[in-house]
Structure 1
Amino acid sequence: MLRAVIFDFDGLILDTESPEYLTFVEMYREHGAELPLREWARVVGCSDSDFDPYAYLEKCTGKKLDRETLERRRRQRHLALIETKGVMPGVRDVLNQARSLGWKIGLASSSAREWVENHLSRLGLRPYFQCICTREDVERTKPDPALYRRALHCLGVEPSEAVALEDSPNGALAAKRAGLKCIVVPNDVTRRFDFGEVDLRLDSLEELDLEALAEKWDHAE
């Protein structure tokens, strides 16, 4: 029986994914190169990826880059774009649904704690979360299941009692490896990715009725 929901952060609660990809695409085009989405997919939702976008750009151009200067400029552009973003559609409603149902609410993110905490506070969402697990809490981030296992332990629930909300294949794989049901809500970047086996795919969290879905899944077991 479901009694907990665990959110991803980047790309699900706040669309940081689209601006990040955009800033790298802009950088590549300035150097006369293209960044294939299939390559970028390796880093989405994961902080341990073996894909280095700067090394790939150097390979494309055949030139050594001033990475520090390029990253500083790109990050400034990324942060400026994020500041224009609000909470993704349906997020507040799902949080309120979970709270009304008496469910425990957690978060599992491959990003840094400071990044997640600061944005949640800025968006007025921090009070909803009883447990926040970030990359500092584990040795390996998504698609490794460690973040979800830690969140489950923190919330005091079994995998069968929680559902994960994700926007990336790496995140969905981590949730499934940890034994959770997983609902994916792709964003503008990840909607073109292959998610493999998930329990439900939605276009927006506005479509999610936790109570109805929990009842349906409970009766199906």
Structure 2
Amino acid sequence: MFPHPVEAVVFDMDGTLLDTERLYVDAWIDAGRAVGVDIGREFCLAMIGRPMQDCEALMLERFGPDVPLDALVDACGAFVGGASRAGVPLKPGARELVEYLTAMNIPLAVATSSRRPTAEHHLGRSGLLAHFSALVTRDDVARGKPHPESYLLAARALGAPPQRCLAIEDSPTGLRSAVAAGAMTILAPDLIAPSPEERGLCLAVVDGLGEALALLRAHERGRRLAVAAAPG
């Protein structure tokens, strides 16, 4: 199913490796209540996968120039910080998939819309940080997802052409970023179901990272059988 050899793998973080998207949605809603802004769940879903400057622009567009943006962002950060201080849960199958790829000597990176301190904290507390050779955050790019810059930087850091990188994403925004970079992409949806068009952009839509691991194992078995059957 992979059109090119998988030379490297780039993961999204929130909603893909870490079960944080629900935390962020709840934090935005609670922050809105705290400052008197009615932020609905559907609006929160529209912000998933986007860098903060894009989220701020969406809020200004939705709620107008008088929205207490700084207070809203600060309140959200406080809610997230309190909820994640002891660490955040991994998505099911995340550790097994990362450890399998590490054992296969496939270089790994993370491309996230989170800030570097947040990414390092969450991945460090989860025990996954040491597996990644590169970490591309929103502090490292001029243009966040859905622009391809994050994935292009990650591929460059891993020394692999983007077309030979496998991206694993959970959101339509991240999917479009990876596809625009030229990466092969598997989508493991979290809170947002992909549209038919978005399904057509990826190699596969999987029901969790365990299914992604099964696909990669099957691909590796097929590759080894092909090598063994090749004439000497």
TM-score interval, normalised by the smaller of the two chains: 0.7 to 0.9
CA distance in 2, matches of 1:73, 1:56: 20
The amino acid across from 2:219 in the alignment is L
Change (3 A) 1:136 1:162: same
Q: Give CA deviations for 1:151-170 in whole Å, capped at 9, x if unaligned.
A: 11111112232110101111
Partner residue of 1:152 out of 145, 151, 155? 155
How much does 1:15 deviate?
A: 2.1
Instruction: Decide whether the 8 Å contact of 1:90 with 1:204 is kept in 2.
Output: yes
After superposition, the CA RMSD in angstroms is: 2.8
Partner residue, 1:211: 217
Aligned counterpart, 1:80: 82
State the one-letter code of the partner of 2:108.
I
Alpha carbons 2:88, 2:126 under 8 Å: kept: no
1:28: Cα distance to partner? 4.6
Q: Which TM-score applies when normalising by structure 2? A: 0.79
In percent, how many aligned pairs have the same letter? 26
Secondary structure of the residue aligned to 2:139 is helix
Greater RCO structure (CA 8 Å; 6+ sep): 1
CA contact (8 A) 1:162 1:180 kept: yes
AA at the equivalent of 1:207? E
> 2:99: which partner in 1?
96
Q: 1:53: Cα distance to partner?
A: 5.6
1:69 aligns with 2:71: yes
CA distance in structure 1 between the partners assigned to 2:87 and 2:119 by the alignment = 17
Helix, strand or coil for the counterpart of 1:97?
Answer: helix
Does the 8 A contact of 1:2 with 1:214 survive in 2? no
* Cα pair 2:187 2:205 within 8 Å, conserved: yes
User: 1:61-114 CA distances to partner (integer Å, 9 max, x unpaired)?
Assistant: xx9444433433332222233346311111110111101212111111122111
Q: Normalised by the size of structure 1, how large is the TM-score?
A: 0.83
Give distance in 2, aligned partners of 1:122 and 1:79.
13
| Aligned counterparts of 1:20 and 1:152: Cα–Cα separation in 2 | 28
In structure 1, C-alpha distance between the alignment counterparts of 2:56 and 2:75, rounded to whole Å: 20
How far apart are the structure 1 equivalents of 2:163 and 2:221?
14
The answer on 1:20 being equivalent to 2:10 is no
Name structure 2 gaps, 5 residues minimum: 227-232
Shift of the alpha carbon at 1:26?
Answer: 3.6
Q: Which amino acid aligns with 2:81?
A: L
Distance across 1 between alignment mates of 2:179 and 2:134 = 19
Q: How many residues align?
A: 213
Provide the C-alpha distance between the structure 2 equivalents of 1:50 and 1:75, rounded to a whole number of angstroms: 13
Structure 2 letter corresponding to 1:45: G
Distance across 2 between alignment mates of 1:160 and 1:216: 20
Counterpart of 2:14 in structure 1 is 10
